[in-house]
Amino acid sequence: MLETICDILVDAYKRNWITSRDGNVSIRHHDRDHFYITPSGVRKQTLQPDQFKKIGISQGSHVTPIAIDLPYTDISANLKPSGELPLHFGLQKKMGQHKDEVRVVVHVHPTYCIAAMHAGIDLSTISDAFPELNRYTKVAPNVGDVPPISQELADQCHKNLQLDQKGNIAYDIVGIKGHGVVAIDTSPWRAYEHIERLEHICKIVLASGKYGT
């Protein structure tokens, strides 16, 4: 699935959802005590599976899990994990409703989602009017202005997704004002489709001119 993640990031680049070095993705299989995350600062058009970083999740029920950079490939040894590691780690350390599956977390900067938040729209409020969105995708309330690659961004995203101690989440996607979105599902393309659906509806809402007060 690392190749599929490379494919979705190329697709995101072609859609102008990221510039070359933006965006990050993580993936965990339920029966592994590690996950993979995209490296920091690498051009997404040329990202290769052997560049991913392998992150261990420390064991021990009485200890707060911590992320450990594990050896993976010679190429990845010279790279750092994405700066949004705290965001991904919080969602990957316990898999919640995906505990028997795979969990994929995708973060990109889709144009119309960000434009809608910039225009004052809470993305969680627009799905009521659009069944093609709300049938498949649960949208969390927006996260406000938080610095990129910060623990604050991670904490606010986790809170708005209603992430609990077991890793359960109440939503499929959350928007971060002035920044982007984070989507979660059981495969790269499923997570990607939440973004695509929300982006499509945001484009329609903005085209209608009927929003805001």
Q: Which letter, b or e, does each residue of 61-87 get, where b requires 16 or more Cβ atoms within 10 Å of its Cβ?
A: eeeebebeeeebeeebeebebbebbbb
Under a CB-based contact definition with an 8 Å cutoff, are residues 7 and 192 in contact?
A: no
Name residues contacting Zn ion, limited to 69-88 (CB under 5 A): none
Is the CB of 180 or the CB of 188 nearer to Zn ion? 180
Q: How far is the CB of 120 from Zn ion (least distance, A)?
A: 21
With CB under 5 A, what is the number of residues at the site for Zn ion?
Answer: 1
Q: Which of 86, 110, 167, 180 binds Zn ion (CB under 5 A)?
A: 180
Name residues contacting Zn ion, limited to 8-37 (CB under 5 A): none
Nearest to 55 by CA among 10, 112, 93: 93
Is the CB of 17 or the CB of 171 nearer to Zn ion? 17
Interatomic CA distance for residues 21 and 18, integer angstroms: 8
Q: Which residue is nearest to Zn ion (CB)?
A: 180
Q: How far is the CB of 180 from Zn ion (least distance, A)?
A: 5
Q: How far is the CB of 61 from Zn ion (least distance, A)?
A: 33
Is the CB of 19 or the CB of 125 nearer to Zn ion? 19
Helices (H), the chain: 2-14, 74-77, 85-92, 111-118, 123-126, 131-134, 151-160, 188-208
Residues binding Zn ion (CB under 5 A)? 180
